Amino acid sequence: MKHARVAYAGSIHCAISQDGRLLLDDGRLVSETSVVWLPPVAPGIILALGLNYADHAKELSFEPPSEPLAFPKASTSLVGHLGHTRHPLGAAHMHYECELAVVIGKTARHVTRQDAYEFVAGYTVANDYAIRDYLENYYRPNMRVKSRDEATPLGPWLVDSADIPDPMNLHLTTTVNGRLAQQGCTGNMIFDIPALIEYFTAFMTLEAGDLILTGTPEGLEDVNPGDEVVTEIAGVGRLVNTIAEDWRS
């Protein structure tokens, strides 16, 4: 099943996909174009991975990490499907990053990789924009690079884990203004989903709704105000975002 969070007629609703429309939690059936899309989850914790695809590490001239290179992100960095993300004034290198996002389904602590999928509620699509002009050291991504307000589109859907039987074999693509710019497969992650859940829960507790963004493959390029960026993962969703001009750095 595909779940969403939307704003409609002045209220926020949970919704499910039904025959190309949205069935709201109050029973109304509305069109997908009549709502404002919100991130499908409201996480307490967002954990993101850097350099989790060897080809991406190579294109940035870094050695693949020997353990997960992780960093936290603010919940205010999320924005929904069809939203806008601001291009900082004077920045030359704003890069999209198509990523599979794992949504935790229940309290997870000291989870083994054998049991990891039992703690996954489902999956969604993330576009974890990076402003690489501000990068100090890739092994310590700073907050201006990765945690800017509304700089991480998420959605449109939370797809139940039962509907994604093999999350480690999903095709990812990014198009910019309709042109294919990035593609890859989740099977090329350095640290797969069970390894990441085992790694994080060895030292911290994850709760239902928390997010793990699993990294992006190679194929990055600069985007600019006015560009429409579509990140898509087979079976999970098609996430549309537009770059807006900003007056701030």
For residues 219 and 144, membership in a common domain is answered with yes
- Yes or no: say if 173 and 237 are a contact pair by the CB < 8 Å rule: no
Lowest mean pLDDT among 13-22, 49-58, 238-247: 49-58
Domains contained in the chain, number = 2
Q: Same domain, yes or no, for 92 and 9? A: no
Percent of the chain with pLDDT over 90: 85
Task: Give me 30's structure tokens.
Answer: 């509305």
Residues 14 and 135 in one domain: no
Q: Are residues 100 and 214 in the same domain?
A: yes
170 and 188 together in one domain = yes
Contact 178, 17 (CB under 8 A): no
| Preceding amide of 156 cis, omega within 30 | yes
Q: What is the DSSP letter of 223?
A: -
- Is residue 173 located within the same domain as residue 55? yes
Alpha helices in the chain (DSSP H): 54-59, 143-146, 193-201
* Global pTM value: 0.95
- Which CATH number goes with the domain that contains 26? 2.30.30.370
Residues 25 and 7 in one domain: yes
CATH number for the domain spanning 113: value is 3.90.850.10
Domain match, 59 and 101 both: yes
pLDDT tens string 178-223: 999 999 999 999 999 999 999 999 999 999 999 999 999 999 999 9
Same domain flag for 234 and 120:
yes
- Which residues span the domain enclosing 83? 39-245
